[in-house]
């Protein structure tokens, strides 16, 4: 990973936080996140490709300056707002395209609710979550 970061000419240092989590800290922490976390996801993908050869079951998670926690909180708020809107309007609400991790956050945020259901539709990279009001008499889970 250090070699990859050096080749990207980024001034960040990988710091093991807990388990298989790495935080990239330094001057270029914002740059390594990239637009909507795309650069961070790419670095994580490449890192996991390398580790997969040595330890197939291992999954490394990479963050930078708490970006992933902030993004998860933001997505949870989006999910709750979509649930309220679906209930208020009585129709499905289509969210913006999201990564598989982001879609999972939406599904997990709303899974305990009986008043809405969620499903993913479309194909990558335009796959998105649809939040629908539960039909009367249903449990609300798709």
What is the rounded distance in angstroms from the CA atom of residue 33 to the CA atom of residue 66? 10
User: Over 60: is that where the pLDDT of 87 sits?
Assistant: yes
What is the rounded distance in angstroms from the CA atom of residue 131 to the CA atom of residue 142? 10
Q: Name the DSSP class of 22.
A: E
pLDDT digit string (tens) for 1-18? 788 888 888 889 999 888
Predicted TM-score (pTM) of this structure: 0.77
Q: What integer best gives the mean pLDDT of the chain?
A: 90
Structural domains of the chain in order of their starting residue, each with its CATH number = 2-65 (3.30.300.20), 69-133 (3.30.1370.50)
Name the residue with tokens 């807990």.
18
Token representation of residue 111: 């899974």
Which one, of 106, 114, 120, lies nearest residue 133 by Cα? 114
What is the rounded distance in angstroms from the CA atom of residue 54 to the CA atom of residue 52? 5
What is the rounded distance in angstroms from the CA atom of residue 28 to the CA atom of residue 45? 19
């Amino acid at each position: 990973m250090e070699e990859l970061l050096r080749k990207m000419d980024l001034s960040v240092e990988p710091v093991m936080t807990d388990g298989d989590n790495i935080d990239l800290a330094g001057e270029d922490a914002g740059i390594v996140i990239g637009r909507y976390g795309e650069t961070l996801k790419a670095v994580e993908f490449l890192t996991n490709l390398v580790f997969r050869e040595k330890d197939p079951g291992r999954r490394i998670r990479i963050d930078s300056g708490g970006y992933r926690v902030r993004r998860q909180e933001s997505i949870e708020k989006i999910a709750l707002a979509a649930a309220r809107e679906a209930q208020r309007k009585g129709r499905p609400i289509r969210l913006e395209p999201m990564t598989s991790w982001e879609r999972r956050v939406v599904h997990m945020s709303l899974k305990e609710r009986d008043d809405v259901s969620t499903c993913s539709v479309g194909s990558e990279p335009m796959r998105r979550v649809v939040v629908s009001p539960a039909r009367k008499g249903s449990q609300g889970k798709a």
